[in-house]
Amino acid sequence: MMIIQVRFVPLLAFVALFAGPACPAEQLDPQESGITAASRPTYSLDAQPQVNRLDFEFRTGESLAWLNSTGDFHVHGWIQHRGLLCATYSMGLRFGAGSPGCLNVEWLSETVYVTSQYQCNGARVEHDGGETMPEIGAKIAQISCAERVVRCSGSCK
């Protein structure tokens, strides 16, 4: 009986770790998919160096993004449509603070979509867009993670 209890305790700890309350504001909708990337800071060369830009790479060769201290951000990447029937794909970003990098992320912004492309016939299409969010630029020192979010509507696969 002692052996059963010893095996049962780690199982309870594992279940408790993942059974916490979900936060709907942080979850993606079913028609959305996301990839996270840790930030790579670029520092100013002033007398007191500070972060003036963050770079993010989502899957090597697939998508890149950056955010600067004024809140300007830009995302560039490729989205593959599967199937013959058409769908509309939008690409956006959201920024957060994790510990470390993209673990235990608290999202500091909602997803902001900056591209929209109509894709058909198995096309792989380049998405490129940006926006300005001064309130996020003010938090650049806190940001350690970004999530590239793709939303699909239509014949999605």
* DSSP codes joined into one string, 64-119: EEEEETTSEEEEEEEEE--SSS-EEEEEEEEEEE-SSTTSS-EE-S--EE---EEE
User: Which candidate, 144, 141, 150, places its Cα nearest to that of 103?
Assistant: 144
Cut 0.85: pTM above it: no
Query: Please, which pLDDT band fits residue 8 given cuts at 50, 70 and 90?
Result: very low
What is the three-class DSSP state of 133?
coil
Classify domain 31-154 at the CATH topology level. Immunoglobulin-like (2.60.40)
When mean pLDDT is compared across 14-28, 66-80, 138-152, the lowest value belongs to 14-28
| Average model confidence (pLDDT) across the chain | 84
Residue 40: what pLDDT? 94
Residue 47: is its pLDDT beyond 80?
A: no
pLDDT in tens, 106-143: 999 999 999 999 999 999 999 999 999 999 999 999 99
Per residue in 18-44, is it b (16+ CB within 10 Å) or e — as a string?
Answer: eeeeeeeeeeeeeebebbbbebeeeee
* Rounded mean pLDDT, 60-66: 89
